[in-house]
Amino acid sequence: MTPDITGGGAWQALLDRSQAARSSQMRDLFKSDPQRFNRFSLAAAGLFLDYSKNRLDAGTLDLLLTLARERGVEERRNAMFGGGKINSTEKRAVLHTALRAPRTSPAAVDGQAVADEVHAVLDRIRLFTERVRSGEWLGHTGKPITDIVNIGIGGSDLGPKMASQALRTYHHPRLRCHFVSNVDAHDLDAALHQVDPATTLFVIASKTFTTQETMMNARSARAWFLQHGNQQQLARHFVAVSTNIRAVEEFGIDSANMFPFWDWVGGRYSVWSAIGLSVALMIGYEGFRQFLDGGFAMDQHFISAPLEKNMPALLALVGIWNRNFLHAASQSIAPYHQDLRYFPGYLQQLEMESNGKRVTLDGKTVTHATCPVVWGDVGTNGQHAYFQLLHQGTETIPVDFIAALRPAHGIDGHHRVLLANCFAQSEALMLGKTAAEVEAELSGQGLPPEQVAALVPHKTFPGNRPSNTILLDALTPASLGALVALYEHKTFVQGVIWGVNSFDQWGVELGKVLAKNIEAELNSDRGSQSHDSSTSGLIAMARDAARSLG
Protein backbone atom coordinates (compact mmCIF):
# COMPACT_ATOMS: atom_id res chain seq x y z
CA MET A 1 0.00 0.00 0.00
CA THR A 2 1.38 3.45 -0.86
CA PRO A 3 1.65 5.67 2.23
CA ASP A 4 0.09 8.67 0.48
CA ILE A 5 -2.89 7.81 -1.65
CA THR A 6 -2.48 10.81 -3.94
CA GLY A 7 1.18 10.03 -4.55
CA GLY A 8 0.55 6.68 -6.26
CA GLY A 9 0.87 6.24 -10.02
CA ALA A 10 -2.80 5.50 -10.63
CA TRP A 11 -4.00 8.53 -8.68
CA GLN A 12 -1.88 10.91 -10.73
CA ALA A 13 -2.91 9.27 -13.98
CA LEU A 14 -6.56 9.54 -12.95
CA LEU A 15 -6.07 13.23 -12.16
CA ASP A 16 -4.71 13.78 -15.65
CA ARG A 17 -7.59 11.85 -17.14
CA SER A 18 -10.19 13.74 -15.17
CA GLN A 19 -9.36 16.95 -17.08
CA ALA A 20 -10.54 15.35 -20.31
CA ALA A 21 -13.46 13.60 -18.59
CA ARG A 22 -14.85 16.94 -17.42
CA SER A 23 -15.38 18.04 -20.98
CA SER A 24 -16.45 14.65 -22.38
CA GLN A 25 -20.16 14.07 -22.90
CA MET A 26 -21.81 10.83 -21.87
CA ARG A 27 -24.26 11.10 -24.74
CA ASP A 28 -21.22 10.88 -27.09
CA LEU A 29 -19.84 7.88 -25.19
CA PHE A 30 -23.15 6.07 -25.74
CA LYS A 31 -23.26 7.06 -29.43
CA SER A 32 -19.74 5.88 -30.11
CA ASP A 33 -20.16 2.50 -28.36
CA PRO A 34 -23.38 0.54 -28.89
CA GLN A 35 -22.06 -2.04 -26.41
CA ARG A 36 -21.66 0.49 -23.60
CA PHE A 37 -24.54 -0.89 -21.52
CA ASN A 38 -23.17 -4.45 -21.75
CA ARG A 39 -19.63 -3.30 -21.11
CA PHE A 40 -20.45 -1.29 -17.99
CA SER A 41 -22.99 -3.47 -16.21
CA LEU A 42 -22.97 -6.77 -14.38
CA ALA A 43 -25.10 -9.20 -12.38
CA ALA A 44 -24.16 -10.74 -9.02
CA ALA A 45 -25.96 -12.37 -6.08
CA GLY A 46 -29.34 -11.73 -7.71
CA LEU A 47 -28.70 -8.01 -8.29
CA PHE A 48 -27.96 -6.12 -11.48
CA LEU A 49 -25.81 -3.00 -11.60
CA ASP A 50 -25.75 -0.64 -14.58
CA TYR A 51 -22.94 1.87 -14.15
CA SER A 52 -22.76 2.90 -17.80
CA LYS A 53 -24.28 6.35 -17.15
CA ASN A 54 -21.05 7.66 -15.67
CA ARG A 55 -18.33 9.80 -17.25
CA LEU A 56 -16.17 6.76 -17.46
CA ASP A 57 -14.39 4.90 -20.22
CA ALA A 58 -12.42 1.66 -20.32
CA GLY A 59 -9.10 3.43 -19.75
CA THR A 60 -10.37 5.25 -16.66
CA LEU A 61 -11.83 2.07 -15.27
CA ASP A 62 -8.49 0.29 -15.74
CA LEU A 63 -6.76 3.01 -13.77
CA LEU A 64 -9.38 2.85 -11.00
CA LEU A 65 -8.80 -0.90 -10.77
CA THR A 66 -5.05 -0.27 -10.59
CA LEU A 67 -5.70 2.25 -7.82
CA ALA A 68 -7.70 -0.37 -5.90
CA ARG A 69 -4.82 -2.83 -6.25
CA GLU A 70 -2.21 -0.23 -5.31
CA ARG A 71 -4.22 0.56 -2.20
CA GLY A 72 -4.36 -3.12 -1.22
CA VAL A 73 -8.12 -3.59 -1.46
CA GLU A 74 -7.84 -7.35 -2.02
CA GLU A 75 -5.43 -7.85 0.89
CA ARG A 76 -7.60 -5.78 3.25
CA ARG A 77 -10.69 -7.65 2.13
CA ASN A 78 -8.99 -10.96 2.87
CA ALA A 79 -7.84 -9.63 6.24
CA MET A 80 -11.40 -8.61 7.12
CA PHE A 81 -12.88 -11.99 6.23
CA GLY A 82 -9.94 -13.67 7.98
CA GLY A 83 -10.80 -12.04 11.32
CA GLY A 84 -7.83 -9.63 11.31
CA LYS A 85 -8.14 -6.72 13.78
CA ILE A 86 -8.58 -4.19 10.99
CA ASN A 87 -10.50 -1.83 13.30
CA SER A 88 -7.15 -0.68 14.63
CA THR A 89 -8.26 2.20 16.88
CA GLU A 90 -10.51 -0.15 18.84
CA LYS A 91 -8.30 -3.22 18.30
CA ARG A 92 -11.24 -5.22 17.03
CA ALA A 93 -11.91 -7.70 14.28
CA VAL A 94 -14.64 -6.82 11.78
CA LEU A 95 -16.61 -9.97 11.16
CA HIS A 96 -20.23 -9.11 10.48
CA THR A 97 -19.80 -11.36 7.44
CA ALA A 98 -19.54 -14.35 9.83
CA LEU A 99 -23.10 -13.63 11.00
CA ARG A 100 -24.54 -14.60 7.64
CA ALA A 101 -22.21 -17.51 6.87
CA PRO A 102 -23.25 -21.17 7.17
CA ARG A 103 -22.49 -23.38 10.17
CA THR A 104 -19.43 -24.74 8.36
CA SER A 105 -17.81 -21.31 8.07
CA PRO A 106 -14.18 -21.25 9.23
CA ALA A 107 -14.41 -17.57 10.31
CA ALA A 108 -12.40 -17.05 13.49
CA VAL A 109 -11.35 -14.32 15.91
CA ASP A 110 -8.10 -14.80 17.87
CA GLY A 111 -7.91 -18.33 16.49
CA GLN A 112 -11.36 -19.23 17.85
CA ALA A 113 -13.99 -20.25 15.29
CA VAL A 114 -17.16 -18.20 15.73
CA ALA A 115 -19.70 -20.21 13.69
CA ASP A 116 -20.88 -22.29 16.66
CA GLU A 117 -21.66 -19.24 18.80
CA VAL A 118 -23.29 -17.43 15.90
CA HIS A 119 -25.52 -20.39 15.08
CA ALA A 120 -26.34 -21.07 18.71
CA VAL A 121 -27.81 -17.56 18.90
CA LEU A 122 -29.59 -18.03 15.56
CA ASP A 123 -31.12 -21.24 16.93
CA ARG A 124 -32.39 -19.32 19.94
CA ILE A 125 -33.79 -16.61 17.67
CA ARG A 126 -35.58 -19.29 15.66
CA LEU A 127 -37.15 -20.87 18.77
CA PHE A 128 -38.14 -17.56 20.31
CA THR A 129 -39.60 -16.07 17.13
CA GLU A 130 -41.58 -19.25 16.48
CA ARG A 131 -43.06 -19.09 19.99
CA VAL A 132 -44.08 -15.46 19.63
CA ARG A 133 -45.43 -15.84 16.10
CA SER A 134 -47.37 -19.02 16.82
CA GLY A 135 -49.07 -17.39 19.79
CA GLU A 136 -47.47 -19.79 22.28
CA TRP A 137 -45.57 -16.94 23.98
CA LEU A 138 -48.22 -15.12 25.99
CA GLY A 139 -48.35 -11.74 27.64
CA HIS A 140 -49.12 -11.41 31.35
CA THR A 141 -52.89 -11.62 30.89
CA GLY A 142 -52.63 -14.74 28.72
CA LYS A 143 -53.01 -13.09 25.34
CA PRO A 144 -50.61 -13.53 22.38
CA ILE A 145 -48.24 -10.73 21.47
CA THR A 146 -49.53 -8.27 18.88
CA ASP A 147 -46.94 -5.49 18.97
CA ILE A 148 -43.15 -5.41 18.96
CA VAL A 149 -41.51 -2.19 20.17
CA ASN A 150 -37.81 -2.07 19.29
CA ILE A 151 -36.02 0.41 21.53
CA GLY A 152 -32.56 1.23 20.20
CA ILE A 153 -30.73 4.01 18.37
CA GLY A 154 -28.19 4.37 15.57
CA GLY A 155 -27.03 0.96 14.45
CA SER A 156 -29.46 -0.68 16.88
CA ASP A 157 -32.39 1.03 15.17
CA LEU A 158 -31.65 2.02 11.58
CA GLY A 159 -30.95 -1.51 10.28
CA PRO A 160 -33.93 -3.33 11.83
CA LYS A 161 -36.25 -0.40 11.06
CA MET A 162 -35.14 -0.25 7.43
CA ALA A 163 -35.32 -4.03 6.94
CA SER A 164 -38.71 -4.40 8.68
CA GLN A 165 -40.17 -1.70 6.48
CA ALA A 166 -38.55 -3.10 3.33
CA LEU A 167 -40.04 -6.55 4.06
CA ARG A 168 -43.44 -5.24 5.09
CA THR A 169 -45.25 -7.62 2.76
CA TYR A 170 -43.73 -10.58 4.65
CA HIS A 171 -44.98 -9.48 8.07
CA HIS A 172 -46.98 -11.82 10.30
CA PRO A 173 -50.61 -10.67 10.02
CA ARG A 174 -51.06 -10.44 13.82
CA LEU A 175 -47.87 -8.48 14.48
CA ARG A 176 -47.11 -4.79 14.16
CA CYS A 177 -43.72 -3.28 14.86
CA HIS A 178 -42.71 0.10 16.18
CA PHE A 179 -39.26 1.61 16.42
CA VAL A 180 -38.45 4.02 19.21
CA SER A 181 -35.04 5.67 19.05
CA ASN A 182 -35.19 9.34 19.98
CA VAL A 183 -34.62 10.48 23.55
CA ASP A 184 -37.35 12.99 22.72
CA ALA A 185 -40.20 11.18 24.44
CA HIS A 186 -42.64 12.23 21.73
CA ASP A 187 -41.25 9.16 20.00
CA LEU A 188 -41.92 6.72 22.87
CA ASP A 189 -45.19 8.44 23.71
CA ALA A 190 -46.47 7.97 20.13
CA ALA A 191 -45.60 4.26 20.22
CA LEU A 192 -47.12 3.67 23.67
CA HIS A 193 -50.35 5.25 22.52
CA GLN A 194 -50.68 2.61 19.84
CA VAL A 195 -50.02 -0.48 21.95
CA ASP A 196 -51.62 -2.51 24.72
CA PRO A 197 -49.29 -3.44 27.63
CA ALA A 198 -50.88 -6.89 27.80
CA THR A 199 -49.84 -7.78 24.24
CA THR A 200 -46.63 -5.80 23.70
CA LEU A 201 -43.09 -7.14 23.56
CA PHE A 202 -40.29 -4.63 24.07
CA VAL A 203 -36.97 -5.48 22.43
CA ILE A 204 -34.28 -3.40 24.11
CA ALA A 205 -31.52 -3.34 21.50
CA SER A 206 -28.20 -1.92 22.58
CA LYS A 207 -24.74 -3.30 22.00
CA THR A 208 -23.34 -1.53 25.05
CA PHE A 209 -26.57 -1.29 27.09
CA THR A 210 -25.32 2.07 28.31
CA THR A 211 -26.51 4.38 25.52
CA GLN A 212 -28.31 7.28 27.18
CA GLU A 213 -31.28 7.49 24.78
CA THR A 214 -31.95 3.77 24.72
CA MET A 215 -31.61 3.28 28.46
CA MET A 216 -33.87 6.23 29.20
CA ASN A 217 -36.52 5.00 26.76
CA ALA A 218 -36.18 1.47 28.16
CA ARG A 219 -36.63 2.69 31.74
CA SER A 220 -39.67 4.77 30.77
CA ALA A 221 -41.16 1.81 28.89
CA ARG A 222 -40.56 -0.38 31.94
CA ALA A 223 -42.22 2.20 34.22
CA TRP A 224 -45.18 2.34 31.82
CA PHE A 225 -45.45 -1.45 31.84
CA LEU A 226 -45.27 -1.59 35.64
CA GLN A 227 -48.37 0.60 35.82
CA HIS A 228 -50.20 -2.37 34.29
CA GLY A 229 -48.25 -5.47 35.29
CA ASN A 230 -45.79 -6.46 38.02
CA GLN A 231 -42.07 -7.13 38.17
CA GLN A 232 -42.41 -10.91 37.62
CA GLN A 233 -44.59 -10.35 34.59
CA LEU A 234 -41.94 -8.13 33.04
CA ALA A 235 -40.16 -11.22 31.71
CA ARG A 236 -43.06 -11.87 29.32
CA HIS A 237 -42.72 -8.38 27.86
CA PHE A 238 -39.06 -7.37 27.86
CA VAL A 239 -36.19 -9.02 26.02
CA ALA A 240 -32.75 -7.60 25.34
CA VAL A 241 -30.18 -7.74 22.56
CA SER A 242 -26.73 -6.79 23.76
CA THR A 243 -23.11 -7.69 24.34
CA ASN A 244 -23.33 -6.53 27.98
CA ILE A 245 -24.94 -9.28 30.07
CA ARG A 246 -24.26 -7.55 33.40
CA ALA A 247 -26.06 -4.34 32.42
CA VAL A 248 -28.97 -6.34 30.99
CA GLU A 249 -29.39 -8.21 34.29
CA GLU A 250 -29.06 -5.01 36.29
CA PHE A 251 -31.88 -3.56 34.24
CA GLY A 252 -34.05 -6.47 35.32
CA ILE A 253 -34.10 -8.61 32.20
CA ASP A 254 -33.30 -12.28 32.76
CA SER A 255 -30.25 -13.48 30.83
CA ALA A 256 -32.53 -16.23 29.45
CA ASN A 257 -34.32 -13.42 27.61
CA MET A 258 -31.12 -11.86 26.31
CA PHE A 259 -29.82 -12.46 22.81
CA PRO A 260 -26.08 -11.82 22.69
CA PHE A 261 -23.71 -10.66 20.01
CA TRP A 262 -20.05 -9.74 19.96
CA ASP A 263 -17.66 -6.80 19.91
CA TRP A 264 -16.51 -7.77 16.42
CA VAL A 265 -19.90 -6.65 15.11
CA GLY A 266 -20.01 -2.87 14.58
CA GLY A 267 -23.30 -1.12 15.40
CA ARG A 268 -24.04 -0.09 11.81
CA TYR A 269 -23.21 -3.62 10.63
CA SER A 270 -25.34 -5.36 13.24
CA VAL A 271 -28.69 -5.94 11.54
CA TRP A 272 -27.42 -9.45 10.72
CA SER A 273 -26.93 -10.22 14.40
CA ALA A 274 -29.55 -10.57 17.12
CA ILE A 275 -30.10 -6.81 16.57
CA GLY A 276 -32.25 -8.10 13.69
CA LEU A 277 -34.54 -9.84 16.23
CA SER A 278 -37.48 -7.57 15.48
CA VAL A 279 -37.07 -8.31 11.76
CA ALA A 280 -37.05 -12.05 12.49
CA LEU A 281 -40.15 -11.65 14.66
CA MET A 282 -41.99 -9.81 11.90
CA ILE A 283 -40.99 -11.93 8.88
CA GLY A 284 -40.25 -15.25 10.57
CA TYR A 285 -36.99 -17.09 11.02
CA GLU A 286 -37.00 -18.57 7.51
CA GLY A 287 -37.33 -15.10 6.02
CA PHE A 288 -34.55 -13.82 8.27
CA ARG A 289 -32.35 -16.73 7.18
CA GLN A 290 -33.02 -15.80 3.53
CA PHE A 291 -31.96 -12.25 4.34
CA LEU A 292 -28.71 -13.62 5.79
CA ASP A 293 -28.29 -15.90 2.76
CA GLY A 294 -28.66 -12.91 0.42
CA GLY A 295 -25.88 -11.14 2.32
CA PHE A 296 -23.76 -14.29 2.24
CA ALA A 297 -24.23 -14.62 -1.55
CA MET A 298 -22.87 -11.08 -1.96
CA ASP A 299 -19.96 -11.93 0.38
CA GLN A 300 -19.06 -14.92 -1.75
CA HIS A 301 -19.13 -12.77 -4.85
CA PHE A 302 -17.09 -10.01 -3.19
CA ILE A 303 -14.40 -12.36 -1.94
CA SER A 304 -14.04 -14.42 -5.10
CA ALA A 305 -14.78 -12.25 -8.16
CA PRO A 306 -11.83 -10.44 -9.76
CA LEU A 307 -12.08 -6.69 -9.18
CA GLU A 308 -12.98 -6.17 -12.87
CA LYS A 309 -16.18 -8.18 -12.30
CA ASN A 310 -16.74 -7.37 -8.66
CA MET A 311 -19.97 -5.45 -8.02
CA PRO A 312 -19.10 -3.82 -4.67
CA ALA A 313 -15.62 -2.91 -5.92
CA LEU A 314 -16.99 -1.38 -9.13
CA LEU A 315 -19.69 0.56 -7.29
CA ALA A 316 -17.00 1.86 -4.94
CA LEU A 317 -14.62 2.80 -7.75
CA VAL A 318 -17.28 4.69 -9.67
CA GLY A 319 -17.96 6.56 -6.41
CA ILE A 320 -14.23 7.33 -5.99
CA TRP A 321 -14.08 8.65 -9.56
CA ASN A 322 -17.06 10.92 -8.97
CA ARG A 323 -15.90 12.06 -5.52
CA ASN A 324 -12.17 12.51 -5.90
CA PHE A 325 -11.73 13.29 -9.58
CA LEU A 326 -15.01 14.89 -10.68
CA HIS A 327 -15.45 16.53 -7.22
CA ALA A 328 -19.01 15.42 -6.46
CA ALA A 329 -19.52 16.42 -2.81
CA SER A 330 -22.72 14.49 -2.30
CA GLN A 331 -24.36 11.25 -3.38
CA SER A 332 -28.09 10.89 -3.72
CA ILE A 333 -29.90 7.60 -3.18
CA ALA A 334 -33.21 7.18 -4.98
CA PRO A 335 -35.02 3.92 -4.28
CA TYR A 336 -37.99 3.59 -6.62
CA HIS A 337 -39.72 1.40 -4.07
CA GLN A 338 -41.88 2.80 -1.30
CA ASP A 339 -40.88 -0.01 1.07
CA LEU A 340 -37.23 1.08 0.77
CA ARG A 341 -38.05 4.49 2.17
CA TYR A 342 -35.70 4.07 5.12
CA PHE A 343 -32.87 2.84 2.92
CA PRO A 344 -31.33 6.28 2.22
CA GLY A 345 -31.25 6.97 5.98
CA TYR A 346 -29.71 3.57 6.59
CA LEU A 347 -26.98 4.22 3.99
CA GLN A 348 -26.41 7.65 5.44
CA GLN A 349 -25.19 6.04 8.63
CA LEU A 350 -23.40 3.16 6.93
CA GLU A 351 -21.35 5.37 4.64
CA MET A 352 -21.02 8.62 6.58
CA GLU A 353 -20.26 7.09 9.96
CA SER A 354 -17.85 4.64 8.36
CA ASN A 355 -15.98 6.95 6.02
CA GLY A 356 -16.72 10.44 7.34
CA LYS A 357 -13.11 10.66 8.55
CA ARG A 358 -10.30 13.13 8.07
CA VAL A 359 -7.30 11.16 9.25
CA THR A 360 -5.74 8.04 7.81
CA LEU A 361 -5.18 4.79 9.69
CA ASP A 362 -1.80 6.05 10.84
CA GLY A 363 -3.26 9.32 12.14
CA LYS A 364 -2.16 11.62 9.31
CA THR A 365 -4.54 14.28 8.00
CA VAL A 366 -5.80 13.23 4.60
CA THR A 367 -4.89 15.26 1.55
CA HIS A 368 -7.90 14.03 -0.42
CA ALA A 369 -11.68 14.18 -0.02
CA THR A 370 -13.37 11.27 1.78
CA CYS A 371 -17.04 10.32 2.14
CA PRO A 372 -19.54 12.48 0.25
CA VAL A 373 -22.77 13.55 1.94
CA VAL A 374 -25.26 10.73 1.39
CA TRP A 375 -28.93 11.63 1.20
CA GLY A 376 -32.11 10.88 -0.68
CA ASP A 377 -35.71 9.78 -0.68
CA VAL A 378 -37.96 7.48 -2.63
CA GLY A 379 -38.89 8.07 -6.24
CA THR A 380 -41.13 9.33 -7.58
CA ASN A 381 -41.58 11.69 -4.59
CA GLY A 382 -38.10 13.17 -4.94
CA GLN A 383 -38.84 14.11 -8.54
CA HIS A 384 -41.41 16.61 -7.30
CA ALA A 385 -39.07 18.05 -4.71
CA TYR A 386 -35.29 18.19 -5.12
CA PHE A 387 -34.72 16.60 -8.54
CA GLN A 388 -34.86 20.15 -9.95
CA LEU A 389 -31.45 20.74 -8.38
CA LEU A 390 -30.13 17.40 -9.65
CA HIS A 391 -31.04 18.37 -13.21
CA GLN A 392 -30.29 22.08 -13.30
CA GLY A 393 -28.46 23.07 -10.10
CA THR A 394 -24.84 24.17 -10.00
CA GLU A 395 -23.60 20.94 -8.35
CA THR A 396 -23.13 17.61 -10.05
CA ILE A 397 -24.70 15.04 -7.73
CA PRO A 398 -24.45 11.38 -8.69
CA VAL A 399 -27.59 9.35 -8.06
CA ASP A 400 -28.02 5.65 -7.28
CA PHE A 401 -31.40 4.57 -8.64
CA ILE A 402 -32.67 1.34 -7.05
CA ALA A 403 -35.73 -0.48 -8.35
CA ALA A 404 -37.38 -3.89 -8.34
CA LEU A 405 -38.54 -5.32 -11.67
CA ARG A 406 -41.56 -7.01 -10.10
CA PRO A 407 -43.79 -5.38 -7.46
CA ALA A 408 -45.23 -7.15 -4.42
CA HIS A 409 -48.71 -5.68 -5.00
CA GLY A 410 -51.27 -6.52 -7.66
CA ILE A 411 -52.55 -3.02 -8.41
CA ASP A 412 -52.57 -2.64 -12.16
CA GLY A 413 -50.49 -0.12 -14.09
CA HIS A 414 -48.59 1.59 -11.28
CA HIS A 415 -45.39 -0.38 -11.50
CA ARG A 416 -44.99 0.38 -15.21
CA VAL A 417 -45.30 4.09 -14.47
CA LEU A 418 -42.87 3.82 -11.55
CA LEU A 419 -40.18 2.10 -13.64
CA ALA A 420 -40.78 4.46 -16.56
CA ASN A 421 -40.07 7.38 -14.23
CA CYS A 422 -36.98 5.75 -12.79
CA PHE A 423 -35.43 5.03 -16.18
CA ALA A 424 -36.52 8.41 -17.58
CA GLN A 425 -34.76 10.27 -14.76
CA SER A 426 -31.41 8.60 -15.31
CA GLU A 427 -31.77 9.10 -19.06
CA ALA A 428 -32.63 12.79 -18.60
CA LEU A 429 -29.74 13.35 -16.17
CA MET A 430 -27.37 11.79 -18.68
CA LEU A 431 -28.72 13.31 -21.90
CA GLY A 432 -29.81 16.73 -20.71
CA LYS A 433 -31.35 18.98 -23.30
CA THR A 434 -29.20 21.28 -25.41
CA ALA A 435 -30.04 24.89 -26.20
CA ALA A 436 -30.48 23.91 -29.84
CA GLU A 437 -32.98 21.19 -28.90
CA VAL A 438 -34.94 23.60 -26.71
CA GLU A 439 -34.92 26.25 -29.40
CA ALA A 440 -36.18 23.83 -32.05
CA GLU A 441 -38.92 22.60 -29.72
CA LEU A 442 -40.16 26.06 -28.76
CA SER A 443 -40.01 27.37 -32.32
CA GLY A 444 -41.92 24.27 -33.41
CA GLN A 445 -44.66 25.26 -30.95
CA GLY A 446 -44.95 28.58 -32.80
CA LEU A 447 -43.51 30.82 -30.06
CA PRO A 448 -42.18 34.19 -31.28
CA PRO A 449 -38.36 34.33 -31.52
CA GLU A 450 -37.94 36.77 -28.60
CA GLN A 451 -39.89 34.47 -26.27
CA VAL A 452 -37.88 31.51 -27.52
CA ALA A 453 -34.64 33.36 -26.81
CA ALA A 454 -35.84 34.32 -23.31
CA LEU A 455 -36.87 30.79 -22.41
CA VAL A 456 -33.96 28.82 -23.87
CA PRO A 457 -31.54 29.28 -20.92
CA HIS A 458 -34.20 28.24 -18.41
CA LYS A 459 -35.25 25.15 -20.32
CA THR A 460 -31.74 23.97 -21.16
CA PHE A 461 -30.39 21.02 -19.14
CA PRO A 462 -26.63 20.51 -19.04
CA GLY A 463 -27.02 16.71 -18.73
CA ASN A 464 -23.86 14.62 -18.36
CA ARG A 465 -24.87 13.95 -14.75
CA PRO A 466 -23.81 10.52 -13.49
CA SER A 467 -26.00 7.79 -12.08
CA ASN A 468 -25.99 4.05 -11.34
CA THR A 469 -29.06 1.87 -11.57
CA ILE A 470 -29.39 -1.19 -9.35
CA LEU A 471 -32.16 -3.60 -10.26
CA LEU A 472 -33.61 -6.32 -8.05
CA ASP A 473 -35.88 -8.92 -9.54
CA ALA A 474 -38.22 -8.28 -6.59
CA LEU A 475 -37.73 -6.89 -3.10
CA THR A 476 -37.39 -10.12 -1.07
CA PRO A 477 -35.46 -10.99 2.09
CA ALA A 478 -32.66 -12.43 -0.08
CA SER A 479 -32.40 -9.50 -2.47
CA LEU A 480 -32.50 -7.04 0.44
CA GLY A 481 -29.68 -8.98 2.11
CA ALA A 482 -27.61 -8.82 -1.08
CA LEU A 483 -28.34 -5.09 -1.48
CA VAL A 484 -27.28 -4.23 2.07
CA ALA A 485 -24.11 -6.34 1.77
CA LEU A 486 -23.35 -4.67 -1.60
CA TYR A 487 -23.31 -1.26 0.07
CA GLU A 488 -21.38 -2.54 3.09
CA HIS A 489 -18.62 -3.80 0.83
CA LYS A 490 -18.75 -0.69 -1.33
CA THR A 491 -18.20 1.33 1.86
CA PHE A 492 -15.35 -0.98 2.86
CA VAL A 493 -13.56 -0.64 -0.50
CA GLN A 494 -13.86 3.14 -0.44
CA GLY A 495 -12.55 3.23 3.13
CA VAL A 496 -9.51 1.20 2.08
CA ILE A 497 -8.83 3.49 -0.89
CA TRP A 498 -9.17 6.59 1.28
CA GLY A 499 -6.95 4.94 3.89
CA VAL A 500 -9.36 5.55 6.80
CA ASN A 501 -10.67 3.26 9.54
CA SER A 502 -14.25 2.57 8.41
CA PHE A 503 -15.10 0.80 11.66
CA ASP A 504 -14.72 3.34 14.45
CA GLN A 505 -16.95 6.37 15.21
CA TRP A 506 -15.25 8.74 17.63
CA GLY A 507 -17.47 11.57 16.40
CA VAL A 508 -20.48 9.75 17.87
CA GLU A 509 -18.71 9.26 21.21
CA LEU A 510 -17.95 12.99 21.71
CA GLY A 511 -21.63 13.99 21.60
CA LYS A 512 -22.48 11.29 24.13
CA VAL A 513 -20.04 12.78 26.68
CA LEU A 514 -20.89 16.47 26.18
CA ALA A 515 -24.65 15.90 26.52
CA LYS A 516 -24.16 14.21 29.91
CA ASN A 517 -22.38 17.30 31.32
CA ILE A 518 -25.02 19.74 30.09
CA GLU A 519 -27.86 17.53 31.30
CA ALA A 520 -26.36 17.70 34.81
CA GLU A 521 -26.28 21.50 34.57
CA LEU A 522 -29.88 21.69 33.36
CA ASN A 523 -30.81 19.70 36.41
CA SER A 524 -29.10 21.99 38.91
CA ASP A 525 -29.45 25.61 39.98
CA ARG A 526 -25.77 26.37 39.69
CA GLY A 527 -24.84 28.76 36.92
CA SER A 528 -22.86 27.25 34.09
CA GLN A 529 -19.45 28.89 33.78
CA SER A 530 -17.54 26.55 31.57
CA HIS A 531 -19.25 27.24 28.25
CA ASP A 532 -19.15 29.82 25.54
CA SER A 533 -21.81 32.58 25.86
CA SER A 534 -24.06 30.92 23.26
CA THR A 535 -24.19 27.56 25.02
CA SER A 536 -24.57 29.20 28.45
CA GLY A 537 -27.36 31.42 27.15
CA LEU A 538 -29.24 28.47 25.69
CA ILE A 539 -28.83 26.48 28.93
CA ALA A 540 -30.21 29.44 30.90
CA MET A 541 -33.27 29.68 28.63
CA ALA A 542 -34.01 25.96 29.03
CA ARG A 543 -33.66 26.25 32.83
CA ASP A 544 -36.05 29.20 32.93
CA ALA A 545 -38.57 27.34 30.79
CA ALA A 546 -38.34 24.29 33.08
CA ARG A 547 -38.82 26.50 36.17
CA SER A 548 -41.88 28.19 34.69
CA LEU A 549 -43.39 24.73 34.13
CA GLY A 550 -42.88 24.08 37.83
Active site residues: 353, 384, 512
According to the binding rule CB under 6 A, does residue 505 interact with ligand G6Q?
yes
Residues between 148 and 187 with contacts to ligand G6Q, criterion CB under 6 A: 153-156
Q: Are strands 238-242 and 330-336 parallel, antiparallel or unpaired?
A: unpaired
Cβ neighbour number for residue 121 with a 10 Å cutoff? 19
* Sole window of 194-202, 207-215, 221-229, 464-472 interacting with ligand G6Q (rule: CB under 6 A): 207-215
Residues 6+ apart with CB under 8 A from 345: 158, 162
The pattern of x and - marking residues 339 through 358 that bind ligand G6Q according to CB under 6 A reads --------------x-----
Q: Which of 100, 479, 489, 155 is nearest to 289 (CA)?
A: 100
CB of 213 to ligand G6Q, least distance (A): 8
Interface size with ligand G6Q, residues (CB under 6 A): 15
According to the binding rule CB under 6 A, does residue 268 interact with ligand G6Q?
yes
**H or E element in which residue 213 lies:** helix 212-226
Residues 6+ apart with CB under 8 A from 151: 180, 181, 188, 202, 203, 204, 205, 214, 217, 218, 221
Q: Which is nearer to ligand G6Q, 158 or 403 (CB)?
A: 158
Cα–Cα distance measured from residue 395 to residue 386, given in angstroms and rounded to the nearest whole number: 12
According to the binding rule CB under 6 A, does residue 372 interact with ligand G6Q?
no
Which of 214, 348, 491, 502 lies at the binding interface for ligand G6Q (CB under 6 A)?
214
Which of 267, 312, 477, 481 lies at the binding interface for ligand G6Q (CB under 6 A)?
267
Which of 46, 139, 266, 466 lies at the binding interface for ligand G6Q (CB under 6 A)?
266
Q: Which of 71, 215, 201, 189 is nearest to 133 (CA)?
A: 201
Which of 2, 66, 208, 380 lies at the binding interface for ligand G6Q (CB under 6 A)?
208
Residues 6+ apart with CB under 8 A from 460: 432, 433, 434, 435, 438
* Sole window of 68-76, 261-269, 482-490, 537-545 interacting with ligand G6Q (rule: CB under 6 A): 261-269
Q: Which is nearer to ligand G6Q, 267 or 432 (CB)?
A: 267
Q: Which of 514, 526, 522, 523 is nearest to 538 (CA)?
A: 522
Q: Which is nearer to ligand G6Q, 273 or 476 (CB)?
A: 273
**Residue type at 227 in one-letter notation:** Q
Q: Which is nearer to ligand G6Q, 299 or 504 (CB)?
A: 504
**H or E element in which residue 468 lies:** strand 467-474
Q: Which is nearer to ligand G6Q, 349 or 467 (CB)?
A: 349
Cβ neighbour number for residue 135 with a 10 Å cutoff? 12
CB of 178 to ligand G6Q, least distance (A): 18
Interacting residues with ligand G6Q (CB under 6 A): 153-156, 206-208, 211, 214, 266-268, 353, 505, 508
